[in-house]
Amino acid sequence: MHVGNLRTALYAYLLAKKNGGDFVLRIEDTDRERMVEGAIETIYKTLKNAGISWDEGPDVGGNYGPYIQSERMHIFKDYARELVKKGYAYYCFCDKERLDQVKDIQKASGIAPKYDGHCRNLSSEEVQKKLKSGVPYVIRQKMPQEGSTTFHDVVFGEITFENSDLDDQILIKSDQMPTYNFANVVDDHLMEISHVIRGSEYLSSTPKYNLLYDAFGWSRPVYIHCPPVMKNSTEKLSKRNGDATFEDLLNKGYLPQAVVNYIVMLGWSPKSEEEIFSLSELVDVFDVSGISKSPAIFDLPKLTAINAKYIRNMSDEEFWSYAEPYVKSVCKRELDFKLLSQMLKTRTEIFKDIPQQVDFIDSLPKYSSDLYIHKKMKTNEENSLDALRKILPILENVDTWSKESVHDALFDLIKSLNLKNGRVLWPLRVALSGKSFTPGGGIELAALLGKDESISRIKKGIEKLESISNQN
């Protein structure tokens, strides 16, 4: 389920819940060539992960089922035949070869491709003869050739299309399955759908839908068309092009509630400056007047920033429930999860960042002595060696090992040496982790690793720097 699909579902859900309505899940599977195994289960899973529940649908039932369109085939053909009888549709017997020829000629002539109406005025006798002979057919909508069709969209306002530009779209395909365009109109009416929210690419099809509603004498729904979600100024976001789906984002370590929050804000603005909302809060503040006419750019850094805010607001326990599998993918030793959570939480934007932050815990990686050189901390290999030599006996004499006791011991040392904190603590961080970027400073790392491991790593750091000193 790609981001655009989910955003449409979220807008529909928020609109329904804000107004005390029902959110309906209908599986539109009439295009059998595009059926993908497991797709329906993915839709269920995605909506549930996003926190969206449906009031009616295939798995929960309702008064207007079945909610899978392929199980409603007996309905659509009867309605199509009704349109034929009323003169709003007709049987078309053109084969693919003829249609391709017509399209090629139109393209060569600079004409927008559309059906040329070849079967539009066949006599009833000709139609019956072909039907009895078993000639394959489709049923097409008979568009008016004069005048115009106007409709109102909540986002785009009044829109008018010239009827002469409308194609005689297919309603029933040659395999006797309804098209998406026809099945949705019939089902939206039968299921008493009041509001239809969809992508703006369907604006040009809406006059055709309305002509169907009018032909049947049915009330039109309220239309809310949303501009596309773009990956940049020229390209739409598309899973076919490898752009991330909702599940992909979760697998990368984004929180579902953060992704939902961000997706809702893609092309919609609240009336306040606030940008962090729970789903229930979104129900309260959502208003379709906030939907923009302009395309929205999917900005991954912005999503990452929102995700980081959600992480910061977590309790240590909640954070650890998400972080634990990422930590344990590279770290097998028992740890003080509360301390590690406090260390990681402020330095984690997405959970997939975690393994590279803690991969030093089980074993000290090989590292270059260049890490001890830090311009801002004013450290080099020589004064780092001096700092570690002074740190070692201080920490060896700490009896009760804790973050507080390590802190007190080291700050007493720093004070006695009359040095800046970084001159002592930077060499300690490097010696304990073998890295320049860690989820905490030297004090936190020492508390996390424990006394024995910390002392062992400091001694290794001293040995490394002594060997370099001896070479010089």
Q: Can the peptide bond before residue 66 be classed as cis, meaning omega within 30 degrees of 0?
A: yes
Q: Does the structure show a pLDDT above 90 at 235?
A: no
| Nearest by Cα to 311 from 358, 345, 277, 286 | 345
Tell me the angle at which helices 403-417 and 381-396 cross, rounded to the nearest 10 degrees: 130
**Bridge partners (DSSP) listed for residue 195:** 222
- CA torsion 232-235-238-240 (nearest 10°) is -130
> For residue range 171-199, what is the model confidence (pLDDT) as tens digits?
999 999 999 999 999 999 999 999 999 99
Question: Stretch 75-85: mean pLDDT, rounded?
Answer: 96
C-alpha separations of 360 from 234, 329, 339, 428 in Å: 43, 12, 16, 14
Q: Does the structure show a pLDDT above 80 at 469?
A: no
CB within 8 A of 25, min separation 6: which ones? 43, 47, 54, 56, 57, 58, 67
Q: How many CB atoms lie within 10 A of CB 61?
A: 11
Residue 328 annotated to the active site: no
| Nearest by Cα to 29 from 180, 140, 138, 174 | 180
**Bridge partners (DSSP) listed for residue 197:** 224
Residue 376, pLDDT score: 95
CB within 8 A of 66, min separation 6: which ones? 58, 72
Name the active-site residue from 18, 114, 130, 239: 239
The answer to whether 7 touches 226, Cβ cutoff 8 Å, is yes
> For residue range 28-72, what is the model confidence (pLDDT) as tens digits?
988 777 777 888 899 999 999 999 999 999 999 999 999 999 899
Q: Does the structure show a pLDDT above 80 at 240?
A: no
Collapsing DSSP states into helix, strand and coil, what is residue 148? strand
Q: Does the structure show a pLDDT above 90 at 168?
A: yes
The answer to whether 87 touches 62, Cβ cutoff 8 Å, is no
Diameter of the chain measured on Cα atoms: 108
Report the distance separating Cα 262 and Cα 267, nearest Å.
Answer: 10
Give percent of the chain with pLDDT exceeding 70: 99
Model confidence band, residue 126 (pLDDT cutoffs 50, 70, 90) = very high
Question: Stretch 82-105: mean pLDDT, rounded?
Answer: 96
Q: Does the structure show a pLDDT above 80 at 97?
A: yes
Residue 30, pLDDT score: 83
Long-range interactions of 78-84: CB distance < 8 A, separation 24+: 79/182, 79/186, 79/216, 80/139, 80/171, 80/172, 80/178, 80/182, 81/139, 82/216, 83/139, 83/141, 83/171, 83/212, 83/215, 83/216, 84/139
Model confidence band, residue 243 (pLDDT cutoffs 50, 70, 90) = confident
Burial classification of residue 368, based on how many CB atoms lie within 10 Å of its CB (0-12 exposed, 13-18 middle, 19 or more buried): exposed
Q: Provide the residue type at 363 as one letter.
A: S
Beta strands in 282-337 (DSSP E): 296-297
| Nearest by Cα to 166 from 112, 214, 94, 121 | 112
The rounded radius of gyration (Å) of the Cα atoms in the chain is 33
Residue 39, pLDDT score: 86
Residue 238, pLDDT score: 75
Question: Stretch 314-339: mean pLDDT, rounded?
Answer: 93
Model confidence band, residue 471 (pLDDT cutoffs 50, 70, 90) = confident
The sheet that has 222-226: what strands, in order across it?
157-162, 148-153, 222-226, 195-199
Q: Does the structure show a pLDDT above 90 at 421?
A: yes
Model confidence band, residue 24 (pLDDT cutoffs 50, 70, 90) = very high
Q: Does the structure show a pLDDT above 90 at 305?
A: yes
Burial classification of residue 18, based on how many CB atoms lie within 10 Å of its CB (0-12 exposed, 13-18 middle, 19 or more buried): middle
Question: Stretch 99-116: mean pLDDT, rounded?
Answer: 93
Residue 468, pLDDT score: 85
The chain-wide mean pLDDT, for the chain, equals: 94
Residue 472, pLDDT score: 65
Question: Stretch 386-404: mean pLDDT, rounded?
Answer: 96
